[in-house]
Amino acid sequence: MKIAVCIKRVPVQEGRFAIAPSGTAIDEAGLKYDVNDFDLWAVEAALRLKEKAGQGEVVIVSLGPDAVQEQIRKALSMGADRGLQLRASAVPPDPFVVATALADALRGGGYDLILFGRVAVDDAFGATGAIAAHLLGLPCVTGISTLEIANGRGRARRELEGAQEVMEFPLPAVLTIDEGLNKERLPSLKGIMAAKKKPLEVRAATLAEPRVTVRRLELPAERAAGRIVGQGAAAVPELVRLLQTEAKVL
Amino acid sequence: MPTILAYVETRAGAVRKVGLEAVAAARATADAAGGGEVHALVVGAPGVGAAAGALGEDGADAVLVLEHPAFERYNPEATSAVVADRLTRGGYRLGLLGSSAQGRDLAPRVAGVLGVPVVTDVTALRLEGEDVVVTHPIDTGKVIATLVVRGTPALVALRPGAVAAGPAPRQPRVETIAAVGDPAATRVVTTELTLGTSTRLDLGDAPVIVSGGRGLRSAENFRLVEELAGAFGNAAVGATRAVTDEGWRPHSEQIGQTGRLVSPDLYVAVGISGAIQHLAGMRTSRTIVAINKDKDAPIFKVADYGIVGDVFEVVPALTAAVRAARSAS
Ligand SMILES: Cc1cc2nc3c(=O)[nH]c(=O)nc-3n(C[C@H](O)[C@H](O)[C@H](O)COP(=O)(O)OP(=O)(O)OC[C@H]3O[C@@H](n4cnc5c(N)ncnc54)[C@H](O)[C@@H]3O)c2cc1C
Ligand SMILES: Nc1ncnc2c1ncn2[C@@H]1O[C@H](COP(=O)(O)O)[C@@H](O)[C@H]1O
């Protein structure tokens, strides 16, 4: 099993977001960064598949500035074998451009599976994996929450709104991982030490001219400050009155 | 004047609400740009075209129908080939889809085939000369981006329920179209579709949602949430990820970043802390009520009305009061 996992460095979402003076970028000061959650679940899936197969290689790929090496090392400390950074000063907000650069780097790599997260929590497109699959000429299933592989074929379940579907596909394939597949392992101390010695190759990314660009970023309008109606069951009559007369939803 | 293609999502032979929304948004976008035709594309098993005429209600000038047994369940590869083929041959300015599980899958595939730009989870759009200008929440809804998409056609997937459009009915012409290649000869095949069995309102349609969190402590205690929903009469039940992880409720009821995005008239959060990933799915609700015993819980920051208290005491009282209020009116 040779598996590639594409991971993105993203701001930790619990942080306080502010807009940079340019008006077109996030102010990075004060934000913490980590691997996109969905990508961690993808790394975990790759490690389990390799463990089950008893042999293989898990390769981590991330496009971005040198800071992404921190996230690649985290995946290596979980147990992945080697890393590849596609160096770019910034990640463009155009999933087609990112997918093209990732596909170029993955093409001809002999991977049985190429895993993506279902969506990057920062740009929130969820498009990169399926575009890359097409560019690579590989079958693709998106947003999977279960996966079984046997005899060169795969079977995966996707959550829909109030329903589920099962898709079957031949390997090699591209999959994008939703939650539910598994929880990621924590890097062990031994893993962290070992990761320092694992190979991390750096190549320049070739990025096409983006066709999606940011005109403006804004913080959403704050909801008007709410109020505590009261404590315990005693507050219920007043709440019901407000729902009837003020919110008019009852 | 732009011609716009709207992909009408279906499931088990029935048109989904997001499909109608794509048509209505296409109508509104075309009209705002000085008029232009809206073509609705319906792909499904034989019989699916029965819905075609009704799409005029949402503003379609033409309905393109493709019926083939290989489309009984969602067929991602053959459907993307058809949508891509239509977009190239019809001289369309824009392809619109719903940003549902199906639309989010289909849009990037079509973009791949055509080599055109794609944006998903869009909450507003307009044409501006060569550009499509879209609104798209990023960073779990903590930042709102205005993006410029350059390219013809461009693909835009719309957040369910986000793009409001007024009625613009017309009498559409219905055309039958052919598949591209053999739609039964695809690598990826959907072998099963399991529909939810709930008889309650769907989360996407319900005017009221009562959601429960870990504060309920067990699957059995969700009875309290069910009863409150029942008292409203027009409510669906939702849950947090903590709850679906525990297996107290099915994943299909999860609200938030990795669940459903909802915007009901009233959202009642019961025993929910208000984590950012949960807020991302419900903060655009019109009125939010929170019941939590911790007065510092973050949910109170977005709630219009809060009660600090024990759910096991407050919820039964609220259920009784809502029942009484509704029977009195
Ligand atoms: C990538 C990612 C995606 C995620 N996606 C989602 C998502 O889609 N949806 C989602 O919901 N979460 C999501 N999460 C998880 C999220 O971060 C929170 O862990 C989760 O929302 C917490 O659920 P909760 O509010 O039920 O539980 P808790 O945070 O444990 O809150 C329970 C609350 O109940 C209150 N309480 C306890 N007992 C009582 C009582 N007797 N009476 C009244 N109040 C009581 C407590 O004060 C507390 O505030 C995601 C996380 C990640 C990392
Ligand atoms: N800069 C990047 N480097 C590596 N992988 C990426 C990058 N951007 C996106 N991806 C992958 O594509 C997935 C979907 O991203 P997006 O389409 O941006 O939501 C992510 O979960 C990652 O797996």
CB A97 within 8 A of CB A210: yes
Tell me what the mean pLDDT of segment A98-103 comes to. 98
Residue A204: the pLDDT is 98
Residue A179: the pLDDT is 81
Does the ipTM exceed 0.85? yes
Token readout for B247 is: 């297996």
Q: What is the DSSP letter of A92?
A: -
B50 touches chain A (CB under 8 A): no
How far away is chain B from the Cα of A167, in angstroms, using its nearest Cα? 4
How far away is chain B from the Cα of A19, in angstroms, using its nearest Cα? 8
- Of ligand 1's listed atoms, the one at least distance from the Cα of B294 is 47
Per the CATH hierarchy, to which homologous superfamily does domain B208-328 belong? TPP-binding domain (3.40.50.1220)
CATH for A2-204 (3.90.660.10, 3.40.50.920, 2.60.40.3500, 3.40.50.620): 3.40.50.620
Cis peptide preceding A237, ω within 30 of 0: no
- Residue A181's pLDDT band, with cuts at 50, 70 and 90, is low
Give B68's contacts (C-beta < 8 A, 6+ positions apart).
B45, B46, B179, B183, B184
Domain B4-185: assigned CATH number: 3.40.50.620
What are the pLDDT digits (tens) for A10-20?
999 999 999 99
Tell me what the mean pLDDT of segment A90-110 comes to. 97
What are the pLDDT digits (tens) for A159-177?
999 899 999 999 999 999 9
Q: Can you spell out the DSSP letters for A130-189?
A: HHHHHHHT--EEEEEEEEEEETTEEEEEEEETTEEEEEEEESSEEEEE-TTS-PPPPPPH
Residue B199: the pLDDT is 60
What are the pLDDT digits (tens) for A63-84?
999 999 999 999 999 999 999 9
Q: What angle do CA B140, B17, B268 make, to 5 degrees?
A: 50
For residue B198, is pLDDT > 80? no
- Residue B287's pLDDT band, with cuts at 50, 70 and 90, is very high
What ranges do the domains of chain B cover? 4-185, 208-328
As a three-state string, the secondary structure of A32-56 is CEEECHHHHHHHHHHHHHHHHHCCC
What are the pLDDT digits (tens) for A123-155?
999 999 999 999 999 999 999 999 999 999 999
Closest CB to A139 among B187, B202, B276: B187
Nearest CA in chain A to B193: A165
Average pLDDT, chain B: 95
Tell me what the mean pLDDT of segment B100-104 comes to. 97
Residue B166: the pLDDT is 78
